[in-house]
Chains A and B, each alone.
Chain A
Amino acid sequence: MGKLDSKVPSGPLADKWTKHKNEINLVNPANKRNIDVIVVGTGLAGGSAAATLAELGYNVKTFCYQDSPRRAHSIAAQGGINAAKNYQGDGDSAYRLFYDTVKGGDYRSREANVYRLAEESANIIDQCVAQGVPFAREYGGLLDNRSFGGVLVSRTFYAKGQTGQQLLLGCYAAMNRQINRGKIKPYNRHEMMDLVLVDGKARGIIARDLVSGEIERHSAHAVVLATGGYGNVFFLSTNAMGSNVMAAWRAHRRGAYFANPCFTQIHPTCIPVSGDHQSKLTLMSESLRNDGRIWVPKRKEDAENIRQGKLKPTQLKEEDRDYYLERRYPAFGNLVPRDVASRAAKERCDAGFGVNKTGEAVYLDFASAIERYGKEEALTHGMKDADNKTITKLGRQVVENKYGNLFQMYEKIVDENPYETPMMIYPAVHYTMGGLWVDYNLQTTVDGCYCIGEANFSDHGANRLGASALMQGLADGYFVLPYTIGDYLSNDIRTGEISIDSPEFDQAEEAVRERIEKLMSGSGKHSVDHYHKLLGKIMWNKCGMARNAEDLTSAIDDIAALREDFWANVKVTGVADSLNAELEKAGRVADFLELGELFAKDALHRDESCGGHFREEYQTPEGEALRDDENFKYVAAWEFKGEPKNAVLHKENLKYENIELKTRSYK
């Protein structure tokens, strides 16, 4: 177990990070000019890291498969970003944010990392405002906050339902400033195909120019992976179509341990699946649960009539509705954490109370919020006896100001007006808490290979709270990695440029070429999407919202068989030395077919329910998750051994010195 040293500094929790920063080595400004760093992925984590490293003086190369760094999927994050600013005076603090995050993650994350995240959160907001990120403000000109799931304070900063977009544009602007100074060389429309190790250290990557198909060698003193999550292993997810696990998986095959792959977040409020042609699922921000109330009919026959179109939801009286989250969890109500809300929706739909044609949807209703806001507005405008029509009109305006773009998005997709009839929602695969294992310095088990943002496993445990992903991506990129990577790079001030003419680069490039050739030479029976959809079905049915040993065991075999079929019979048309989206997809799906198997293996070995990992065998009589702290209070980090099924388990035991482990309750 020597390799799994978390390197958490000693001392009291609140002093660890400061102490660590004071003790690690630095690189002087003149020497930074002689050091190269590669950053793969340009979302919030990669973009902020690239900009900061370049600003410090390192020579940075960024890689993204999109045509511009600004298109990374962080752009789609809607609801907000948490920070322990306590601007609302509701009792927030770094400790409380830390506590909520560890509890929300069902006690499967590393205390020291989460505390550092909470500590840095306030800096992020200061930083972004200084960069010109237009957050929502009150009439007094100060920043506005909302509340998110699993917490009892309002600590979420936002820019309508487009917070991710605004934060990413901030990173991208910071990157542009460095591109203009010549400190960042952006390689857009490029994909990392492999990680290159020289003397056991990450010293570069092999990349493919997606336009020309050319295979390129790029060297650096360190490689940072910031490539996001692997939710697309399910085919249908809220991820962008191009989101993939390839860079992380290639690093895994080169020695980076993959941690907790089975910890996947199923987001409770997404637009339900409409048919077989569907290519992706659209998320409706959790912020909507500030004002929307979730319900299904109390009586089965009402649900049936609604499904058959004989009854409209607006015709159902208040007493005939079951606001099941408010009923089951009075303390947190509609704002319970995502894993809890998702399972509750599944439970109602499985019991026959679903409200769309396929019975896989529940309502998210804004009628009471519209009325409440309308009355408030009427009073503030001096209208003491406003009629219902006026109240509704005023209320709608308030809701539109808060969530306008989300309501518009819903209407475009579903073709129904959510101001007039409740939204239909259902859980969908969203964020992946698992990822490459990293230590306190965010370094993987490969020296010089760092991993930040959603791509690593670190901060969210078994379930992520809303508005925490943006916080982690930016904290990692702006405020953590730039310090910790310096400690490693301080040993490279005399190394000089890393040559790309070495046997290691030769061998890695050769392997990449062979793999592409193999993908191009399948027998040509089925398209890449055909395999991807089949994999998604296995994952959703057997490794989805509820899992059991029998299903997981068969999933492992199913995926292995599908992978074999894929390599023998996949059909990739076109040529390799040109823009070829099918070839890109094939490479990504090939890696999903390996990750999926490890995912099932990880889920099978974890005989407990926690966060997003719900094993049917382990639940309380009320159907809540039943953790097993005695046997599973650890991070499962898997070492690659040629086949996913042969992966070797390494454990990082988790210690909780500042938080008492309890059964998570939101009642």
Chain B
Amino acid sequence: MKLNLKIWRQKDAKSKGEMKDYPINGIEGDMSFLEMLDVLNEELINKGEEPVQFDHDCREGICGSCSLQINGEPHGPDRLVTTCQLHMRKFNDGDTIVIEPFRATAFPVIKDLVIDRSAFDRIQQVGGYVSVNTSGNTVDANATPIEKENADDSFYAATCIGCGACVAACKNASAMLFTSAKVSQFALLPQGKVEATERVQNMVRQMDLEGFGNCTNTGACEVECPKGISLENIARMNREYLSANVKG
């Protein structure tokens, strides 16, 4: 098929960016969205122009590197997929596709479509872990049975890939879904209970310091999340945060 791409180009963090038009031909439905960009970049290189920079790595929807706001939606029109799993069969011949970086104050643009998501790392650095040494001299793994439902819910929270779609989808650029998923994973397991109070306080504090907005319960984050992370996590984090603050 034939497409008209409108892509955000920005030389570096300090420069002003702009949208540029790139008509492209010969795109097949079986291609992934990033393979379509590969085709465009190959054309640009052959013309001696600089290819469009975008983050990507695993191309199977698990590493969380790829981002892209496609026609105004994080990871494009399909549900429960990342951009690398989005296939061109979701588009029609002659479509115009607008491709931008995820927009949020806390995610500054590095170049073209590449953004800096290190704010997410910093939120996790202040408490997204169980403080246990890696000596291996811990108790036997089966010494503490964990209710299947809790283990499953913890797992579902832990499947967050840290891509930032929730922030990009949110009108306030809030990181509540991401942070709450990280808090929930540990809140649901006995191993995480010991540090629960400090963890939630530190992570929420860091989230605010990074310049993410507040949550107004719109729910766009859950709709756009490629891994279907549930809003329940936000409710859980609110409860955790409240009880932590009541404890002092």
Interface residues, chain A, with chain B CB atoms under 8 Å away: 48, 51-52, 55, 66-68, 70-73, 75-76, 85, 87, 120, 123-132, 134-143, 159-160, 162, 165-166, 169, 172-174, 176-177, 179-180, 186, 188, 211, 240-242, 274-275, 277-280, 282-283, 408-409, 412-413, 415, 478-479, 524, 527, 529, 571, 573-574, 578-582
Contact indicator B118/A68 (Cβ below 8 Å)? yes
Contact of B38 among A160, A282, A529 (CB under 8 A): A529
- Which B residues are CB-close (under 8 A) to A279? 32, 34-35, 38, 59
Contact indicator B130/A173 (Cβ below 8 Å)? yes
> Which of A68, A73, A574, A582 has the most chain B CB atoms closer than 10 A to its own CB?
A68
Contact indicator B141/A180 (Cβ below 8 Å)? no
Nearest Cβ on chain A to B109's Cβ, whole angstroms: 11
- Which B residues are CB-close (under 8 A) to A55? 133-134
Q: How far is the CA of A126 from the CA of B185 in the complex (A)?
A: 18
- Asked whether B60 is an interface residue with its Cβ less than 8 Å from the other chain, the reply is yes
Contact indicator B46/A138 (Cβ below 8 Å)? no
Per-residue interface assignment for chain B, residues 133 to 170, with 1 indicating a CB less than 8 Å from any chain A CB and 0 otherwise:
11111111110111110011011001101100000000
Nearest Cβ on chain A to B202's Cβ, whole angstroms: 9
- Which A residues are CB-close (under 8 A) to B111? 211, 578-579
* Nearest 8 interchain pairs by C-beta: A141-B145, A123-B136, A173-B129, A134-B155, A130-B138, A129-B141, A134-B154, A240-B57
- Which B residues are CB-close (under 8 A) to A574? 50-51
A-B contact pairs, 24 of them (CB 8 A): A67-B117, A70-B121, A71-B65, A75-B58, A76-B62, A129-B141, A131-B129, A131-B191, A134-B158, A136-B155, A140-B145, A141-B151, A143-B141, A162-B159, A176-B121, A188-B118, A279-B32, A279-B35, A279-B59, A409-B60, A413-B85, A413-B87, A415-B89, A478-B134
Contact indicator B139/A130 (Cβ below 8 Å)? yes
Contact indicator A166/B158 (Cβ below 8 Å)? yes
Given the interface pairs A139-B148, A578-B12, the reply to whether A126 lies near B139 with Cβ below 8 Å is: yes
Q: How far is the CA of A180 from the CA of B195 in the complex (A)?
A: 15
Q: How far is the CA of A126 from the CA of B139 in the complex (A)?
A: 6
Given the interface pairs A67-B116, A177-B129, A179-B125, the reply to whether A278 lies near B35 with Cβ below 8 Å is: yes
Contact indicator B134/A52 (Cβ below 8 Å)? yes
Contact of A573 among B51, B78, B136 (CB under 8 A): B51
Given the interface pairs A75-B58, A139-B148, the reply to whether A581 lies near B49 with Cβ below 8 Å is: no
Per-residue interface assignment for chain B, residues 85 to 116, with 1 indicating a CB less than 8 Å from any chain A CB and 0 otherwise:
10101000000000000000000001100101
Contact of A132 among B28, B45, B120, B130 (CB under 8 A): B130
Nearest Cβ on chain A to B237's Cβ, whole angstroms: 16
Chain A residue at minimal CB-CB distance from B126: A180
Given the interface pairs A67-B117, A76-B63, A143-B141, the reply to whether A131 lies near B130 with Cβ below 8 Å is: yes
- Which A residues are CB-close (under 8 A) to B87? 412-413, 415
Contact indicator A141/B55 (Cβ below 8 Å)? no
- Which B residues are CB-close (under 8 A) to A478? 134, 136
17 further A-B pairs in the complex, CB-CB below 8 A; given A165-B159, A529-B38, A573-B51: A75-B62, A125-B141, A127-B135, A129-B141, A131-B134, A131-B191, A141-B147, A141-B148, A177-B129, A188-B121, A211-B111, A241-B58, A275-B31, A412-B61, A415-B87, A479-B136, A578-B12
- Which B residues are CB-close (under 8 A) to A174? 129, 134
Q: How far is the CA of A536 from the CA of B102 in the complex (A)?
A: 34
Nearest Cβ on chain B to A481's Cβ, whole angstroms: 12
> Which of B34, B50, B114, B135 has the most chain A CB atoms closer than 10 A to its own CB?
B135
Contact indicator A211/B110 (Cβ below 8 Å)? yes
Q: How far is the CA of A153 from the CA of B174 in the complex (A)?
A: 47
Contact indicator A412/B120 (Cβ below 8 Å)? no
- Which A residues are CB-close (under 8 A) to B134? 48, 51-52, 55, 127, 131, 174, 478
Contact indicator A73/B45 (Cβ below 8 Å)? no
- Which B residues are CB-close (under 8 A) to A138? 148
- Which B residues are CB-close (under 8 A) to A130? 130, 132, 138-139, 191
Given the interface pairs A85-B141, A132-B130, A132-B185, the reply to whether A120 lies near B136 with Cβ below 8 Å is: yes
- Which A residues are CB-close (under 8 A) to B191? 129-132
- Asked whether B1 is an interface residue with its Cβ less than 8 Å from the other chain, the reply is no
- Which A residues are CB-close (under 8 A) to B138? 126-127, 129-130
B residues 1-56 near A (Cβ < 8 Å) are 11-12, 28, 30-32, 34-35, 38-39, 42, 44-46, 48-51, 53, 55-56
Q: How far is the CA of A571 from the CA of B65 in the complex (A)?
A: 26
Q: How far is the CA of A240 from the CA of B130 in the complex (A)?
A: 29
Contact of B151 among A67, A135, A240 (CB under 8 A): A135
Contact of B28 among A128, A275, A280 (CB under 8 A): A275
- Which A residues are CB-close (under 8 A) to B46? 527, 571
Q: How far is the CA of A573 from the CA of B87 in the complex (A)?
A: 28
Total residues of chain B contacting the partner, CB 8 A: 80
Contact indicator A142/B80 (Cβ below 8 Å)? no
Given the interface pairs A73-B63, A132-B186, the reply to whether A159 lies near B141 with Cβ below 8 Å is: no
Contact of A134 among B49, B81, B145, B185 (CB under 8 A): B185
- Asked whether B220 is an interface residue with its Cβ less than 8 Å from the other chain, the reply is no
> Which of A51, A120, A165 has the most chain B CB atoms closer than 10 A to its own CB?
A165
Nearest Cβ on chain B to A231's Cβ, whole angstroms: 13
- Asked whether B131 is an interface residue with its Cβ less than 8 Å from the other chain, the reply is yes
- Asked whether B189 is an interface residue with its Cβ less than 8 Å from the other chain, the reply is yes
Q: How far is the CA of A63 from the CA of B32 in the complex (A)?
A: 30
Given the interface pairs A73-B63, A75-B62, A579-B53, the reply to whether A275 lies near B30 with Cβ below 8 Å is: yes
- Which A residues are CB-close (under 8 A) to B77? none
Q: How far is the CA of A123 from the CA of B133 in the complex (A)?
A: 13
Contact of A409 among B34, B61, B125, B155 (CB under 8 A): B61
- Which A residues are CB-close (under 8 A) to B50? 573-574
Nearest Cβ on chain B to A141's Cβ, whole angstroms: 3
Nearest Cβ on chain A to B123's Cβ, whole angstroms: 10
- Asked whether B197 is an interface residue with its Cβ less than 8 Å from the other chain, the reply is no
- Which A residues are CB-close (under 8 A) to B155? 134, 136, 159-160, 166
Contact indicator A173/B124 (Cβ below 8 Å)? yes
Given the interface pairs A188-B118, A278-B35, A579-B111, the reply to whether A241 lies near B28 with Cβ below 8 Å is: no
Contact indicator A87/B12 (Cβ below 8 Å)? no
Q: How far is the CA of A578 from the CA of B140 in the complex (A)?
A: 49
Contact of A177 among B121, B131, B142, B189 (CB under 8 A): B131
- Which A residues are CB-close (under 8 A) to B11? 578
- Asked whether B128 is an interface residue with its Cβ less than 8 Å from the other chain, the reply is yes
Q: How far is the CA of A139 from the CA of B124 in the complex (A)?
A: 31
- Which A residues are CB-close (under 8 A) to B78? 412
Given the interface pairs A136-B151, A275-B28, the reply to whether A579 lies near B110 with Cβ below 8 Å is: yes
Given the interface pairs A67-B116, A135-B151, A408-B80, the reply to whether A142 lies near B142 with Cβ below 8 Å is: yes
Contact indicator B114/A579 (Cβ below 8 Å)? yes
Contact indicator A134/B189 (Cβ below 8 Å)? yes
- Which A residues are CB-close (under 8 A) to B76? none
Chain A residue at minimal CB-CB distance from B190: A132
